[in-house]
Amino acid sequence: MARAPFELAGVRVAPGARAQIDVPVAKLYTHAPLHIPVEVIHGRQSGPVLLVCGAIHGDEINGVEIVRRLLRSSAVRGLRGTLIAVPIVNVFGFVQHSRYLPDRRDLNRCFPGSEAGSLGSRVAALFREQIVDLATHIIDLHTGAIHRTNLPQIRAQLAPGGETEAMAMAFGVPVILNAELREGSLRHYAQGNGVPVLTYEAGEALRFDEWAIAPGVRGVRRVMRSIGMLSSDRRRATPPAAEVANGSSWARAPIDGILRPKVRLGARVGKGELLGVVADPFGNVEGEVLANADGIVIGMSNLPLANEGEALFHVARFDAIEEAESAIETFQSDYESLPEGLNLK
């Protein structure tokens, strides 16, 4: 029996075809209609339905470029199953260079949403009904918030031996955070429905970080191979090592002032180690930012201006810290040939 077409927002995509679909999401109060842009690649053979989406936070644009490269790559042409690629979910925020929706809501706290709710709630409900609920697997692409950067990392709720864990390991970035699910997030909603979902966090908002984009594209393709959407390539059968963190915490500014960081992203630090110094502009008063645990710096502020208590360095803890350190060294050497490489440690 011939494989059925794939239907999204009333558009039918035949097996072996691809289509760009503008899903109507709302009208601006100027009367201009607004759409979520979607590309569907419907394979000739049956398989998983993978949703890859970016910019749920409108200013997190590395994921937009990851989706573009994925769609242009020859690998996806002969895929099994169906790829739903959504480069920009929060179209409002993307236009405004903002994480949020115009009503200042965080779309990633609005799921499952409601058709009768506020703007955020309606956009979440529409995205969920028209797109998310079609997926059997999800990869949600994020970056650090504005002025914050993240070491490429996967966040997922891991159950040993589960499909989410297999996807997380397959992605092949050095750090996996077994992160708790936040109420209202896409991840919370999907995982609650038994759909395995990864969040890829890498780089900084409003930037194109090549060291975050290139491994993101490779990671999505590796996951597609691991769930049977792409043929396995023997040479690349084993993904690079990844280490699961057993927790993380932020080291915060001890006083108001100007930060001079002493470590870089990816650095291994010991408990009590100096991460940075915060000082007033004259240097009269200085406060030390110290690591509160042994671990790896997986996120940090790129803005040297800090108020007391502000989160500056995100340190992940590991049972196997040596393995985590060597996974990061391998990652670093894999990408050091990039024109703008990840300058770790």
Q: Which residues contact Zn ion by CB under 5 A?
A: 57, 60, 142
Residue 1 CB, shortest distance to Zn ion, in Å, is: 42
Nearer to Zn ion, 106 or 310 (CB): 106
Q: By C-beta, is 40 or 132 nearer to Zn ion?
A: 132
The CB-of-146 to Zn ion minimum distance in angstroms stands at 10
User: Minimum distance from CB of 71 to Zn ion (Å)?
Assistant: 21
User: Which one, of 204, 242, 158, lies nearest residue 61 by Cα?
Assistant: 204
3-state secondary structure the chain: CCCCCEEECCEEECCCEEEEEEEEEEECCCCCEEEEEEEEEECCCCCCEEEEEECCCCCCCHHHHHHHHHHHCHHHHHCCCEEEEECCCCHHHHHHCCCCCCCCCCHHHCCCCCCCCCHHHHHHHHHHHHCHHHCCEEEEEECCCCCEEEEEEEEECCCCCCHHHHHHHHHCCCEEEECCCCCCCHHHHHHHCCCCEEEEEEEECCCCCHHHHHHHHHHHHHHHHHCCCCCCCHHHCCCCCCEEECEEEEEECCCCEEEEECCCCCCEECCCCEEEEEECCCCCCEEEEECCCCEEEEEEECCCEECCCCEEEEEEECCCHHHHHHHHHHHHHHHCCCCCCCCCC
Contacts of residue 224, Cβ cutoff 8 Å, sequence gap at least 6 = 50, 75, 76, 79, 83, 230
Q: For residues 152 and 257, which CB has a smaller minimum distance to Zn ion in the complex?
A: 152
CB 59 within 8 A of CB 97: yes
Of the pair 47, 102, the CB lying nearest Zn ion is at: 102
State in angstroms the smallest separation of the CB of 98 from Zn ion. 12
In whole angstroms, how close is the CB of 240 to Zn ion at the nearest point?
Answer: 24
* Rounded CA separation 201/287 (Å): 30
Closer residue to Zn ion (CB): 57 or 218: 57
Tell me the closest approach of the beta carbon of residue 57 to Zn ion, in angstroms: 4
Please state the closest distance from residue 63 (CB atom) to Zn ion, in A: 9
In the bound state with Zn ion, the residue whose beta carbon lies nearer, of 71 and 145, is 145
How near is the Cβ of 17 to Zn ion at its closest, in Å? 32
Which CB atom, from 98 or from 292, has the smaller least distance to Zn ion? 98
Instruction: Quote the least distance from Cβ 145 to Zn ion, whole Å.
Output: 7
Measured from the CB atom, the residue of 82 and 199 that comes closer to Zn ion is 199
60 vs 273 by CB, closer to Zn ion: 60
